[in-house]
Structure 1
Amino acid sequence: MKRILEFVGGVVLIGGIAGVLRELTGWFPFMGFTRFLTENVSFLQGREIITNIAIAVLGFAIVMIADTRRRT
């Protein structure tokens, strides 16, 4: 379970960071974690950077939770 949480958290963290870079610089056009959210959820439109930062923080939190779990 620990490895799964680390993997998922790492993917979410990298996706959030890549989304911030995409919004600020135009790089990583293939990283579309928030494209669907910001196009279909009305209160997220125009807040792509904040959404990506929140996704990166969520990924970091998942990695930290995985780090605190004991091996069973």
Structure 2
Amino acid sequence: MQALLECLGFVALVQGVLGLLHEFTGWDAGLVQRIGFLDGHEVYASVALIGMAIALFAAAESRKAD
């Protein structure tokens, strides 16, 4: 379970960073800008993905203590 949480956290972190890179540099990478209903809200979605990644890493770390 811990490995799954870490893997999901890594994917969320990478997609969040790539979404911010796309918004601020125009570099065409990541999935956030390709999702239609997020038009105009890509920065917020990218920041939310980074926050979710931090939460997933924290959950994975708390599973280590068990």
- TM-score normalised by L of structure 2: 0.83
Structure 1: gaps spanning 5 or more residues: none
Partner of 2:41: 47
Aligned-pair identity in percent equals: 32
Task: Quote the Cα distance in structure 2 between the aligned partners of 1:12 and 1:25.
Answer: 20
Which residue identity lines up with residue 61 of structure 1 in the other structure? Answer: A
* Higher helix proportion: 2
Task: Quote the Cα distance in structure 1 between the aligned partners of 2:23 and 2:57.
Answer: 24
Q: Deviations over 1:17-71 (max 9, x none)?
A: 11111111012x13113421xx2x2xx4312111111111111111111111137
Contact 1:34–1:52 (CA under 8 A) maintained in structure 2: no
Partner of 1:19: 19
Which residue identity lines up with residue 32 of structure 1 in the other structure? Answer: L
Runs of 4+ in structure 1 deviating by more than 3 angstroms, as ranges, are none
Structure 2: gaps spanning 5 or more residues: none
